[in-house]
């Protein structure tokens, strides 16, 4: 990062700022060309800084992912392990459902090789992992439920509710269903 030239850093920042707006407006398949146009740079410059759409999405959502990671770290010390996990899941759901394109970003990088540490879903998985373990240890979670399972479920909910009139509300509703279990027998 520091090794970059000043203009490169400036362009990076500008492109990223525009990309955030565009992705918010048009979802994961925002036009890279359009982003370049708005940012006032050539399209080649965009793809130099972000080779491929994935890279751009990861950059766009990077901060928020980091914030979710921090939240997880906080919650790892909460008294109630189950409540902590559920709160984090709710936070993730809320964000994934409202931030257009994030769910796509998550689902797309499922393929990437495990080396890819920049991977969004890998970061999130690492973040929840402790919460999941603690909840499982406390007997508040079925033993065979993994962090990846939970992320996949939340991602799926976000994807499926994306076209609803009020995605966030609907996603929240479904998350509650999933958590409570469909069956009323408890």
Distance CA 164, CA 167 (A): 5
Task: Tell me how far, at minimum, the Cβ of 152 lies from a copy of itself, in Å.
Answer: 5
Part of the chain binding DNA (CB under 7 A), chosen from 33-41, 92-100, 119-127, 171-179: 33-41
Indicate whether 60 belongs to the interface with DNA (CB under 7 A): no
Q: 33 is in the binding site of which of a copy of itself, DNA, none (Cβ under 5 to 8 A by kind)? A: DNA
Give the total of residues touching DNA (CB under 7 A).
Answer: 24
To a copy of itself, the closest distance from the beta carbon of 15 in angstroms equals 26
Structure tokens at 41: 């740079």
Residues of this chain, 90-129, that bind a copy of itself according to CB under 8 A: 107-108, 110-111
Torsional sign, CA 123, 180, 101, 159: positive
In terms of Cα–Cα distance, which of 105, 116, 96 is closest to 29?
105
46 scored as a contact of a copy of itself (CB under 8 A):
no
H helices of 50-181, in order, are: 53-75, 81-98, 102-108, 120-137, 147-161, 167-180
Number of CB atoms found within 10 A of residue 108's CB: 16
Q: In the complex, what is the shortest distance from the CB of residue 62 to DNA, in angstroms, rounded to a whole number? A: 19
Query: Shortest Cβ distance from residue 60 to DNA (Å)?
Result: 14
């Amino acid at each position: 990062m520091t090794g970059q030239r000043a203009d490169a850093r400036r362009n990076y920042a500008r492109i990223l700022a525009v990309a955030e707006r565009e992705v918010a407006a048009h979802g994961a398949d925002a036009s890279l060309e359009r982003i370049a146009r708005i940012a006032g740079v050539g399209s080649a410059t965009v793809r130099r800084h972000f080779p491929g759409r994935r890279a751009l999405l990861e950059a766009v959502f990077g901060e928020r992912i980091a914030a979710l990671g921090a939240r997880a770290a906080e919650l790892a010390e909460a008294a109630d392990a189950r409540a902590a996990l559920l709160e984090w899941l709710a936070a993730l759901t809320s964000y994934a459902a409202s931030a257009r394109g994030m769910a796509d970003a998550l689902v797309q990088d499922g393929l990437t090789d495990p080396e890819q540490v920049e991977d969004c879903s890998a970061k999130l998985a690492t973040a929840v992992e402790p919460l999941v373990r603690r909840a499982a240890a406390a007997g508040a979670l079925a033993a065979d439920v993994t962090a990846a399972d939970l992320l996949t479920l939340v991602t799926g909910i976000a994807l499926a509710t994306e076209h609803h009139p009020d995605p966030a509300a609907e996603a929240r509703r479904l998350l509650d269903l999933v958590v409570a279990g469909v069956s009323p027998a408890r």
